[in-house]
Structure 1
Amino acid sequence: MIAQRLCLLVAAVFCALAAPARAEEDGVPYWASIDAEIANMRVGPGDSYRISWVYRRQHLPVKVVRREGPWRLIEDPAGDRGWMRDLLLSRQRSAIVKGEGLAEIRAAPTATAGLQWRVEPGVVGLLGECEAGWCQFDVAGHKGFAPEGRLWGAGAP
């Protein structure tokens, strides 16, 4: 009887300790953007880990794939992964133009809407609502609609 209660107590303690770890993982993956002029990505979740990349591109979209305390394991548009402090990230959605050739930015969310301008792959902009394959896209105050398929950072993470 005592052994059975002890086993239940040990199991309860392990469940209680595991719950915060699961809670940390809730809500990932999600999209974020770099919210600093200079942001270091590290090989591990702490300041003592080596810096693997230095980002100098505010609003660059990233995918947060794991959380560990104040650290986030992120994936950048090139597929590189590393750890970044949560203070360097924003939940403001952004996107980067991907693919080959110029992407056409339209005045409305249709392929027949007036052409506003064209952007090269690698251009970063703030992302608005996406619907029916088109996303609101704001590049330095120039607003229009971009095809969702040309944007890394749109859609489900």
Structure 2
Amino acid sequence: MVITTGIVALPALAGQIGAAPQDGPTAMQDVSPYQAQLQLRSRSPNARVIRVQSQAEPGMRGPVTNLPLPRYVSLKGNEGNARRGPSLSHRIDWVFRHAGMPLRVVAEFGHWRRVEDKDGAGGWVHYALLSGVRTALVTQDMVQLRNRPDPDADVVAKAETGAIVRLGECNPGWCRISGGGQRGWVPKQAIWGVDPQEIRD
């Protein structure tokens, strides 16, 4: 029997992440994920210049953790502030509001990680707000979960767009996901939170 209820069904992405635009100068310019920038922390004669690495490319390692960049993590709690720069003095640009939301780490600085969501939105988040538990976001509506990584395998459940699920093992074309008491295999292109070439045991 096909179970059509969404697994860990959540509202659509619209409205999950709220922008918090603010006017006025900041102590540190936004750090582009695509280009390394030299950052002036203040306007005083003793201002320090800090280099923040550019957009991560496959094979890179984080200067703080020595973990791969980019890499995927998840939001630990129900809310996480994404700031314009890597300190509490920088303004909040985005607020992530769902525990378990998958995020992509693209840069590191001290206790801070620059993260982005599926749409590339985000900012600098304190590492204590992040978890190494791997999750994924369902991007294909009513995607079918199958009992084997095979398009002809039996369908055991369906997941709605926006569902946040636990990520299990992955082969070149399929990943095993779980949530809401259900578990099954879905095509990689139906979820966000795993690289196309990533293999997980």
TM-score, structure 1 as length reference: 0.79
The Cα of 1:141 is off from its aligned counterpart by 2.9
RCO comparison, higher one (Cα < 8 Å, 6+): 2
Contact 1:134–1:145 (CA under 8 A) maintained in structure 2: yes
Between the aligned partners of 1:134 and 1:73, the Cα distance in structure 2 is 28
Question: Highest Rg: 1 or 2?
Answer: 1
Write the letter of the residue equivalent to 1:108: R
Number of residues paired by the alignment? 136
Match of 1:62? 103
Residue number among 13, 29, 45 corresponding to 2:86 in the alignment: 45
Matched position secondary structure for 1:149: helix
Match of 2:151? 111
Between the aligned partners of 2:65 and 2:76, the Cα distance in structure 1 is 22
Displaced runs of 4 or more, over 4 A: none
Write the letter of the residue equivalent to 2:98: R
* Cα RMSD after superposing both structures: 1.9
Between the aligned partners of 1:79 and 1:103, the Cα distance in structure 2 is 23
Write the letter of the residue equivalent to 1:126: R
Instruction: Identify which range, 65-74 or 54-63, moves more after superposition.
Output: 54-63
The Cα of 1:64 is off from its aligned counterpart by 0.1
Contact 1:65–1:72 (CA under 8 A) maintained in structure 2: yes
Q: Which runs of 5+ in 2 are unaligned?
A: 1-50, 52-61
1:88 paired to 2:129: yes
The Cα of 1:102 is off from its aligned counterpart by 2.2
TM-score, structure 2 as length reference: 0.63
Q: Which runs of 5+ in 1 are unaligned?
A: 1-17
1:26-84 Cα offsets, whole Å, 9 max, x none, are 42111101111111111111111111122221111010000000000001112103010
What percent identity do the matched residue pairs reach?
34
Between the aligned partners of 1:50 and 1:140, the Cα distance in structure 2 is 36
- Structure whose residues are more often helix by fraction: 1
